[in-house]
Structure 1
């Protein structure tokens, strides 16, 4: 990492890289390497944020953002003291790091730091801007929304939208996206806002949240026509027209020996043997899963309990100014909250949010008539949600319109998520859908989190970013 980070005192552009949950600076090594290959140390100075490594990412977006804010201020001061001068700033966030970076941007704006800099790029790779609660129905999804929020300490509560930020009574994700907040005005300073979103196989942050979208056209890729961006190896989709309903044209007839009527008995036997081996491996996998999954779950829950205690202690020490960050000035900003009163109500019981919606999508023909009748003055949770009901009704209307135009139905998101989509989209984004084919762990592959061949498609994404997107 050292050979890619840092820079020359001649550089006037600082680019900050922020890793994600459970991450460490090494996760951003490929991002830093790609940037350095395009821009020499005399042009761009690279800072890889370090203070949120490992279990420190459990401490929440707020504390993580404060740490990154302080790191940036300290780096700017250190460069200045050595005789350098930074005039431009870019910030890159991966996964949770995108949210942490947005919080840090709000603090930098409130403290006047951004007034002295030209803000060029804000880039997010697979960042869950709308949180990670699943909008799908069913017991597994409901359990995920309830348990997931309680096993990742403060970060989990914020990612699932069940926290209350300071004295606002709102989840932090709602505050981050409020049009009147310093977080949004700070983000608006950047000349270019770019995001890269996995369309499939992202087990950490699914497409709707990383794309800031009310729909997910990629749930059944066999029944859509996908269009790629020329020159990017069938990895990056065309952002202006990525996909349309309707199955793609059938592939040309295969010329393999399996379609040849003269295929020998030996070849058939080889195929049968290969199929048998695949079935045996799959059976072994499921047997192992049945044996070890309970142990893994227990270990995960025990670790979560330990990390919750440790994180709570760190947060308490930070509030008292004992964690190495001079938090007095930051705490003063919190009192002013940087936000006017948010109009409308946000549901109070996020613990049962997934159960509040009776379907995965809004406004589908099969349940459209019954859905209106279920919206009484109190929802299924017993919460007065008049404004939320109005948002949902509006989205049902939009959903029917989209479907009538051959579009895709609207996901059953929470009211604060619909509001966040509208507000964030007002800023303007360059959105690039990414299809990682080689591996079923696209969340790590999109930034080549570790160097291995199966993650090679992520290098295509990074090449596009440094050559076509990054303003220097």
Structure 2
């Protein structure tokens, strides 16, 4: 037996990594490599889940969660058979993988795995905890939020909150955050829960949903002073005191204002021109690909439910409540999603007041009160407000992330591709590893 095999057999901690929509294990190569470099093989095993690769992520958070749970249990059995008992487990999810991970740990909790293995770290990077529905009022929601939900098969309906999950009659994400569910119970078992959320340029998962927040203080980052944690090159924002009042600046000269205004107008004109050409062609291809992938996804889901995939997933169909063209498709979705703005609720709305009364006051709100900075409440659904309250009750250490050097921050936050322009993502992973409990 090799030296590496001997040393890895001594590890008592398993760390599970779960990739996101359209993803594959290679997307988390930098994360897994960084883990292995930081922690020796005799201390930590790393499992990069692989059964949801590519278009398999269309099949729904529940189906993906069952695959991951089975993969984890199988790994634990393999390690035990080799005379190696795992005593601790950590689970890390990127993008949609964070939701799949939350579903999987609920199943593991219910099956008694956490009675034998201590849950330690749970972390998500750019995960849409509240879904990907753009906070919009009026007819806009019926254009994007409804159409977008129907282009990603089951995962799309779940992410946009328009599904009816099994016999609950409720959206899956609402069940996933229900305080009486196995999922919240499982999540609460972890010693340390944290999340990393991009504050700008994330076209797939905007700040409010990755950061579990009813407000977005970073809509106009140039208008506020962003407070960073020292030692991380102005990338990791201080989650306890993220923003402050900006010091007054000298007004721009007329020529500077003219230049800035011209750039803005030209930028918007360029976007309109690109969309005018791109949407008819790219949109047609995107919808065609979505139809094909949705059909294939439905076939896989039926095979999965009927046990025709070679693995018996029936054991995961348990009570959910304690009481009772791939890259092109991704680009098209991100461009369409990134083009959406955000609407806000009226501060005088009685509905907002009643929602606010049901929400726990979080640290960001306290900081905003102290700083006299007020940010409007986003036009979220009641289910989303309830999710915020439930997840904040469980408790997450929240780390806003400001990636300045690349406009594809969703990929950069985990260094999805090994390139120089993603270097700020390396800082994010360093911060995470510095706070990883072994």
Q: Indicate the TM-score class for this superposition, using the shorter chain for normalisation.
A: 0.7 to 0.9
Is 1:290 the counterpart of 2:289 in the alignment? no
Q: Unpaired runs of 5+ in structure 1? A: 260-271, 342-358, 376-388
Aligned residue for 1:228, secondary structure, equals coil
Deviation of 1:166 after TM superposition, in Å, equals: 1.1
2:58/2:293 contact within 8 Å kept: yes
Q: In angstroms, what is the RMSD of aligned CA positions?
A: 3.3
SS in 2 for 1:325: coil
1:102-148 alpha-carbon deviations (Å, 9 max, x no partner): 00000001111111011100000010110010113365554110111
Deviation track 1:292-318 (CA, whole Å, cap 9, x = no partner) reads 431111010001000111011111111
Question: For residue 422 of structure 1, what is the aligned residue in structure 2?
Answer: 389
User: 1:410 is paired with a residue of what secondary structure?
Assistant: coil
User: What does residue 354 of structure 1 align with?
Assistant: none
State the alpha-carbon separation in 1 of the partners of residues 5 and 234 from structure 2: 30
Alignment of 1:31-46 (within 5 A): 31-46=31-46
State the match for 1:362 in structure 2: 345
Which residue does 1:221 correspond to in 2? Answer: 221
Alignment partner, residue 17 of structure 2? 17
Greater mean deviation of Cα atoms: 159-168 or 401-410: 401-410
Q: 1:432 aligns with which of 385, 399, 405?
A: 399
Q: Secondary structure at the match of 1:240?
A: coil
> Larger radius of gyration, structure 1 or 2?
1
Q: After superposition, where does 1:206-245 map in structure 2 within 5 Å?
A: 206-244=206-244
TM-score, with structure 1 as normaliser:
0.79
Q: Deviations over 1:153-209 (max 9, x none)?
A: 000000011111111111111111111111011111100001000011111011111
- What TM-score results when the alignment is normalised by the length of structure 2? 0.85
Equivalent residue number for residue 340 of structure 1: 323
Aligned to 1:55: 55
Task: Output the CA distance in 2 between the equivalents of 1:12 and 1:431.
Answer: 27
Q: Is the 8 A contact 1:5 1:46 kept in 2?
A: no
CA distance 1:31–1:393, change in 2 (3 Å): closer
Q: Counterpart of 1:443?
A: 410
Contact 1:362/1:395 (CA < 8 Å) preserved in 2? no
Deviation per residue, 1:265-311 (Å, 9 max, x gap): xxxxxxx9xxx999999988865653343111101000100011101
Give the corresponding residue for 1:116. 116
Do residues 316 (structure 1) and 302 (structure 2) align?
yes
Tell me, yes or no, if the aligned pair for 2:137 and 2:379 is still in contact at 8 Å. no
Is there any run of 5+ residues in structure 2 with no aligned partner, and where?
325-341
1:329 aligns with 2:339: no
Deviations 1:46-80 (A, max 9, x none): 00000000000000000000000000001111111
Matches within 5 A, 1:46-195: 46-137=46-137, 139-195=139-195
In the alignment, is residue 303 of structure 1 matched against residue 284 of structure 2?
no
Listed as ranges, the matches of 1:456-467 within 5 Å are 456-467=423-434
